[in-house]
Copies of this chain bind each other. A is one copy, B any other.
């Protein structure tokens, strides 16, 4: 693969140059050091107007209530369906999150993934009117390919539910399920007709995969540290810092959503370390490369 063939949807300029220079530098490293980790929401796929998984959970709740109307009497579900912010605030996130997780307690991970895949590939994004699974960033798909062309093992490290992302990771990213690290629930091994069957519980295993937990889970799941990390929010901060705290070539990429016309324009508040420090200042201070969607990407989505 010649580098001129790589990253066709990336415009010529310092960002694309920085990525290509890093890939060339990494060629000199032993293959086992070429590890790349990428956040999912807002880095590989669109996260607006709200997290796709939140849309999925609303969809699942609506479906569950249609089947069992008595569920709507539960305070947490009522508040969600009514979009009652006051009630949600009063109930508190842990209680609301637990209630949502309980919607899928007792089903197998395979059944959960089938529902997630169905949702992602058929339900339409409210603004763009295409299935959610089509709203992956074309330049990031090309970046995954470029990394692999340079011998990298590529992994998704998402704050989202691991099964939710795994349900489509092979098709969308050419990443097998074991290449996805995310927030997980615990499983229970049951017997049905004497055969072992794994079912989901409503209990989250080891906390949400955000911030420092992303780094711990990278070690726990992958057992080797990355030299490339891409993210777009404060939940990716430690992962990006960790990837660049190595000897030799490394690259941290921060996707800046600055394209209101073609995608959305927003600065994840969490992307700044302090309220007073801008995303650009943070990146500059830490030597991260900021990807301007407006400036650096000729195309945003595959269907354009």
Contact = CB atoms under 8 A, between A and B. Distances in A.
A155 to B, nearest CB: 8
A5 to B, nearest CB: 26
A176 interface: yes
Contact of A180 (B155, B223, B241): B223
Nearest to A241: B196
A144 B241 CA distance: 37
Interface in A151-208: 153, 155, 162-163, 166, 170, 176-180, 184, 186-189, 195-198, 205-206
Contacts of A222: 177-178
A215 B189 contact: yes
Contact of A177 (B170, B188, B223): B223
A92 interface: no
Contacts of A223: 109, 162-163, 166, 176-178, 180
Contact of A238 (B177, B189, B212, B215): B189
Contacts of A180: 223
A215 B189 CA distance: 8
A281 interface: no
Nearest to A197: B245
Interface string A207-223: 00000100110011111
Given A195-B245, A196-B215, A196-B242, A221 B178 contact: yes
Interface in A232-255: 238, 241-242, 245
Contacts of A189: 212, 215-216, 238
A241 B198 CA distance: 12
A49 B218 CA distance: 34
A224 interface: yes
Interface centre among A163, A179, A205, A223 (most CB of B within 10 A): A223
A32 interface: yes
A219 B162 CA distance: 10
A170 B205 contact: no
B245 A170 contact: no
A55 B90 CA distance: 54
A219 B198 contact: yes
Given A198-B216, A215-B189, A241-B195, A153 B170 contact: no
Interface of A: 32, 109-110, 153, 155, 162-163, 166, 170, 176-180, 184, 186-189, 195-198, 205-206, 212, 215-216, 219-225, 238, 241-242, 245
Given A109-B223, A177-B222, A186-B216, 18 more contacts: A32-B170, A109-B219, A162-B220, A166-B223, A178-B178, A178-B179, A178-B221, A178-B222, A178-B223, A184-B220, A186-B206, A187-B216, A188-B216, A196-B241, A196-B242, A196-B245, A198-B242, A206-B206
List the 3 shortest-distance A-B pairs measured between CB atoms, nearest first. A177-B223, A189-B212, A187-B216
